[in-house]
Amino acid sequence: MGAIRKAAAGFLVILATAASGQDCVSAVRLLSTRTSVPNLVAGPFSWSGSTLAVAKTQEGAPGAVWFGAYDETLQTIIDDRLVATDARRIVALLWNGSEHALFYTTVNDALFLQRLTLSGDPIGDRIAITSDRTVYSGDDIDAVWSPALNAYVVGRVISQGQFRGLWLTLLETNGTERWDLPAFVPGSVRPSLELAVTESGIIGAFFNNAAGSLVFARADGDGNITVRTMSPGSEFIAATAHNGRFVVARQSSLTPEPKSEIRWFIVDTNQQVVKADATLVEPIGDDAWPLSLISNGEELALAYIDAPRRAQPVERTYRLLRFTIDGTVINNTGFASEAALGRAQSPYPIVWSGTSYLAAAVHSAPDRLNTYLLRHCPLRARIVSPVRNVRVGQTVTFSAVAGGGVPEYQYSWTFPFEIGPKRGQTLDRVFDRTGTYVVTLEVTDFSGAKTQQTITVEVIRPKTRAVRH
């Protein structure tokens, strides 16, 4: 994601139990403490398909960047190793299908790419990116990998100097520039910057201009760039590509300030709005702002902060909102938890592993600076019985199992010809006539998340045996 943001989040460490050993287990793991080395996760993640790589910094050792890797259950598989010694800020850690790419700025105001193997070993020397331009403190930088373009997209909002404005750079996997071009933006620009790339390789860059508006710069693989002003700007922006369109979430002030909410809109690759700007999150407290928005192809997931007042040192909750492209909320809960534990700084992106959402949080308090890895497993349910064909008058057992989410689970069945749902993980029923019947199961977990499954039952007459005369 873009610039490191001073956001806070709270959570309660909950190790959830699953319905069976094969189920996804929501969990929180204490990764490091103030006294450990490295003791702060300050950079992003990359998911290789089997491992979660994490870039880290070390308190008291400016410039140090460490690399560690974990499996989906948050267990260490690669111990921390030092991969840079003069970094000022970690921009991104990306996986391109065969290697990691670590983008970071240095104390000498330069932007570099360090290629790394799956285990974190350097591949060659680090590579300078746009070496003719200084990295200023007001710049915002983002980088993403595009399988369609087979290249890295690096975006940079430059706040001052002769190169002021938005620059987009397309890099080969070896760091060679394919093209490096500016976008024409009237006036100056301001952070934040968020990049996204569609499955077809259309690039979307979302940032603020000096007039206080959110701007959408659209680029194709050949470097053709067009710019359009979209909506009121925001300090906090999150964007992702979903089924050939761009979904954007932004913080929006409410009256009276400093209250705020999170709004969202959808725009296509021709820069046409297909869903107008609307409320996505009304905070439980007075203030909310987005941190990271991703798509897993089926649903969208937004990590965000909910707080009574951003300007006050109070409890703030790091939450995960899962929703569909039409705005239907699937679940909105604390990330791997439901309650707060102190204050936590969490400006990090989230990733989808294929079965769970993964993130990190740094618990910041006067007596501690602890880092946690978080895993949230979406609620899942499965009807395990009965068989599809049953006989009239036969006792039929309906049974289901659930996993993920936050236990405990509540099971609710809706049967034809019965008024209202019936509760229970296992229920018996007798059908007194033939026909085709649809039975619906709804499972609700402790956080309030819901999921539904249906089963079609064919009721037939018992076979009769021929009588011999």
Considering the domain architecture, whether residues 341 and 432 belong to the same structural domain is answered as no
Give residue-wise pLDDT tens across range 206-215: 999 888 889 9
Considering the domain architecture, whether residues 165 and 178 belong to the same structural domain is answered as yes
The two tokens of residue 189 are 């620009």
Q: Decide which of 316 and 22 is more confident.
A: 316
State the pLDDT at residue 161: 81
Looking at residues 87-115, what average pLDDT do you find? 94
Residue 21 binned pLDDT confidence (cut-offs 50, 70, 90):
very low
Considering the domain architecture, whether residues 347 and 385 belong to the same structural domain is answered as no
Considering the domain architecture, whether residues 298 and 390 belong to the same structural domain is answered as no
Q: Residue 355 domain-assigned?
A: yes
Considering the domain architecture, whether residues 190 and 333 belong to the same structural domain is answered as yes
Q: Residue 22 domain-assigned?
A: no
From 376, 407, 423, give the residue that closes a domain. 376
Q: What are the helix (H) ranges across 6-121?
A: none
From 376, 394, 420, give the residue that closes a domain. 376
Q: Residue 16 domain-assigned?
A: no
User: What residues pair up with 428 in beta bridges, in sequence order?
Assistant: 397
Q: Residue 11 domain-assigned?
A: no
Considering the domain architecture, whether residues 284 and 329 belong to the same structural domain is answered as yes
Q: Residue 98 domain-assigned?
A: yes
Considering the domain architecture, whether residues 241 and 300 belong to the same structural domain is answered as yes
Expressed as residue numbers, the domain containing 422 is 380-460
Q: Residue 20 domain-assigned?
A: no
State the pLDDT at residue 19: 34
Greatest extent of the chain over all pairs of C-alpha atoms, in Å: 106
Q: Looking at the predicted structure, is the pLDDT value of residue 94 above 70?
A: yes
Give residue-wise pLDDT tens across range 326-378: 999 988 888 876 444 445 566 678 899 999 999 887 776 666 677 888 899 99
In this structure, the chain runs to a length of 469
Query: Distance between CA atoms of 287 and 295, rounded to whole angstroms?
Result: 24
- Work out how many domains the chain is built from and give that number: 2
Calculate the CA 88 to chain-centre distance: 25
Give residue-wise pLDDT tens across range 279-300: 999 988 888 899 999 999 999 9
State the pLDDT at residue 91: 93
Question: Cα–Cα distances in Å, from 445 out to 16, 329, 332, 422, 458?
Answer: 11, 15, 12, 16, 30
Q: Residue 10 domain-assigned?
A: no
The 3-state DSSP class for residue 133 equals coil
How many other CB atoms are there within 10 angstroms of residue 303's CB atom? 28
From 315, 342, 376, give the residue that closes a domain. 376
Sheet containing 450-460: which strands, arranged edge to edge? 389-391, 450-460, 435-444, 410-414, 422-423
Considering the domain architecture, whether residues 337 and 206 belong to the same structural domain is answered as yes
The 3-state DSSP class for residue 154 equals strand
- CATH number of the domain where residue 445 is located: 2.60.40.10
Which residues make Cβ contacts (< 8 Å) with residue 201, sequence separation at least 6? 146, 148, 149, 220, 221
| Alpha-carbon torsion angle 424, 429, 435, 438, nearest 10 | 0
- CATH number of the domain where residue 93 is located: 2.130.10.120
Q: Looking at the predicted structure, is the pLDDT value of residue 27 above 90?
A: no
Q: Residue 428 domain-assigned?
A: yes
State the pLDDT at residue 434: 92
